[in-house]
């Protein structure tokens, strides 16, 4: 499923425990990677860098915590560690073995 970026602005943000986090005011995009990085629940129109840093630290949600987007945005309530690396070897082997286990052949 896909959604236009402009539709995200103004959406309500809730966590899994139905706690209201705020409305989407700004979205930070990493143009080099082509990924959404952060959703802020307060406008970033500030006069000083320290105010912007405060908003990013206290009033923002990393986009990797977003679990679902439709009429509202659902985010995980706990911090998900950032993993920019490939899956570990154990996970690769586990997924490979599970794929082989369920592979059927035609007779």
Give the side-chain half-sphere CA count within 13 A for 60. Answer: 20
Assess if residue 36 is contained within a domain: yes
Find the domain containing 58 and state its range. 5-81
Give 47-94 pLDDT, tens digit per residue.
Answer: 888 888 888 888 999 999 999 999 999 998 765 544 444 445 455 555
In the chain, DSSP finds a helix count (H) and a strand count (E) of: 3, 7
DSSP structure class, residue 10: T
Question: Could you give the CA distance from residue 38 to residue 82 in angstroms, rounded to a whole number?
Answer: 13
Q: What is the pTM of this model?
A: 0.65
Assess if residue 86 is contained within a domain: no
Dig out the tokens for 40 from the structure.
């802020």
Looking up residue 28, the CATH number of its domain turns out to be 2.30.30.240
% of the chain residues with pLDDT over 90: 44
Assess if residue 12 is contained within a domain: yes
Residues 9-33 have a mean pLDDT of 93
Question: Could you give the CA distance from residue 61 to residue 59 in angstroms, rounded to a whole number?
Answer: 7
> Is 22 strand, coil or helix?
strand
Total domains in the chain come to 1
Residues 24-41 have a mean pLDDT of 92
- Residue 93: predicted pLDDT: 52
pLDDT at residue 28 is higher than 70: yes
- The pLDDT mean for the chain works out to 79
């Amino acid at each position: 499923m896909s959604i236009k970026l402009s539709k995200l602005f103004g959406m309500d943000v809730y966590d899994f425990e139905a706690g209201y986090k705020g409305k989407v005011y700004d979205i930070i995009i990493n143009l080099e990677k082509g990924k959404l990085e952060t959703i802020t629940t307060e406008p970033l129109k500030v006069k000083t860098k320290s105010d912007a840093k405060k908003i990013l630290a206290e009033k923002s949600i990393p986009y990797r915590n977003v679990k679902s987007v439709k009429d509202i945005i659902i985010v995980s309530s706990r911090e998900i560690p950032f993993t920019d690396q490939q899956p570990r070897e154990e996970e690769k082997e586990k997924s490979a073995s599970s794929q082989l286990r369920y592979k059927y052949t035609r007779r």
